Amino acid sequence: MKNLPHPHSIELITTGTELLLGQTINTHLRTIAQALLQLGLRIQRQTTIPDGEILLPVLQEALSRSRILIVTGGLGPTSDDVTRPLLSKLLEKPLILHEPTLQHIRQRFRNRNIPVTPLVEKQAYLPQGAEVFPNPNGTAPGLYVTKEFFGQDKHLFFLPGPPRELIPILNNHVLPRIDALCPDRPSSALLLVRTLGKGESFLQQVIEQPLREISPNIEIGYCARSGEVDLRIILYGEETAKLDLVRETLLRLIGDVVWHMGNEELEHLIIARATQLRTTVATAESCTGGLVAHRLTRVPGASAIYLGGVVVYSNAEKIRQLDVPEHLLQNHGAVSSEVALAMLQGLLKKTQAQHAVATTGIAGPTGGTPQKPVGTCFIAATSPQGPIVQQLQLSQERDAFQYQATQHALNLLRLSLG
């Protein structure tokens, strides 16, 4: 993929010894990159360094390259959190008490009936002149400072490391400011298209030529995940006007595998649609082991439409909880279209839900046979035409299998809602 011009270079520095020791996976790059992409901006470079003094030279190095720096981590109360003092050194500004932050910290501790220690209050000492972004989910606030570096204005954003603290500050404070800092960037229009069931080379063969005929400079990115492909389509300048045409063309060419144009997950679409319809949903899971239920109940408001579900791992539980006839289990095996449909019917009868899905399959690593190898999966679901069942051959790797089976189950539930 060619690199587009970057009048507004953005660099990300993630600090944390735990990242370099492999204890924690670094999700900040993805979170921040996805958010910036919505604004038509991208990160040019990302660096991970340990907690400690090394941040100072790394900051100086990055300032020589980039106009906007985003730095994560090191703002907390413990001895390895050194970002605030180093920033004070970089800016040649003292750390001074920020009264609203101190009050916020004390309030959080009062709410939890925990005594505040001087260690914790340290987080309220911030470099003089820094703009402070309150942290609704933690004690360490985000910070924004500007610094002249060899005659250029540089913009530095500091965010706490825990994702649930970082994300609100990113969305509420950092993104609007970066947006305003980059006023003259070329206009662009982004279309995210989520597909399920076809590989990226198939999709490329079908869509690439027709889309290039619409806009020769169109940027088409393929992100193949486990069993699905997300398309990232970007139009630039005047060609942004062709976005609707691109959308229609895609639906014409690959509409059968597109489940969404946008960034949402299937569970959000399902809960939104079911809430709109004031209907009810239930789940019966064998091979997906509760992941379908978990995905649905992650969404706020799920309790209004999701009645509940069962995770029936053993045959005995399939019989007890869902009245699956024993002869079906004996004659066809637990992993069969007959049992998937019986699970669905038992679930519908017991819960009286209007929409439902049932999964059964072989997640592995053991349990496969020549006829039904690891990766075999049956999903039964309600549909506008009555109960349906889908047979799939999915990944032979357990985690990937459960994810893929869950995606297909949620997609059938989405289609059931119409």
309 binds a copy of itself (CB under 8 A): yes
Residues 6 or more apart in contact with residue 49 via CB below 8 angstroms: 13, 14, 15, 20, 55, 58
73 binds a copy of itself (CB under 8 A): no
Residues 6 or more apart in contact with residue 257 via CB below 8 angstroms: 195, 196, 197, 198, 203
Sites for a copy of itself among residues 22-41 (CB under 8 A)? 22-27, 29-37
Specify the stretch interacting with a copy of itself by CB under 8 A; choose among 88-96, 181-189, 316-324, 376-384. Answer: 316-324
In degrees rounded to 5, what are phi and psi of residue 45? -155, 145
CB 281 within 8 A of CB 296: yes
Q: Which is nearer to a copy of itself, 145 or 178 (CB)?
A: 178
Q: Which helix (H) or strand (E) holds 47?
A: strand 45-49
Q: Which is nearer to a copy of itself, 48 or 145 (CB)?
A: 48
Geometric angle at alpha carbon 384, from 378 and 389, rounded to 5°: 10
One residue of 40, 76, 346, 361 binding a copy of itself per CB under 8 A: 76
293 binds a copy of itself (CB under 8 A): yes
Binding mask of the shown chain, residues 138 to 167, with x at each position contacting a copy of itself by CB under 8 A: ------------------------x-x---
197 binds a copy of itself (CB under 8 A): no
One residue of 166, 207, 310, 417 binding a copy of itself per CB under 8 A: 310
110 binds a copy of itself (CB under 8 A): no
Q: Which is nearer to a copy of itself, 98 or 122 (CB)?
A: 122
Edge to edge, the sheet with strand 258-261 lists 219-225, 228-236, 188-196, 258-261
Q: What is the DSSP letter of 287?
A: T
Specify the stretch interacting with a copy of itself by CB under 8 A; choose among 141-149, 254-262, 270-278, 392-400. Answer: 392-400
Residue by residue, DSSP assigns 350-387 as: HH--SEEEEEEE--SSS---SSS-TTEEEEEE--TTS-
Q: Which is nearer to a copy of itself, 127 or 375 (CB)?
A: 375
Half-sphere exposure of 402 (CA within 13 A, CB side): 15
One residue of 85, 134, 308, 325 binding a copy of itself per CB under 8 A: 308
Nearest-angstrom CA–CA distance, 266 and 260:
8
One residue of 66, 83, 195, 283 binding a copy of itself per CB under 8 A: 283
Sites for a copy of itself among residues 177-196 (CB under 8 A)? 192
Q: How crowded is residue 400: how many other Cβ atoms within 10 Å of its Cβ?
A: 17
Binding mask of the shown chain, residues 207 to 246, with x at each position contacting a copy of itself by CB under 8 A: -x-----------xxxxxxx---x-x--------------
One residue of 5, 7, 151, 300 binding a copy of itself per CB under 8 A: 300
Count of residues of this chain found to bind a copy of itself when the rule CB under 8 A is applied: 109
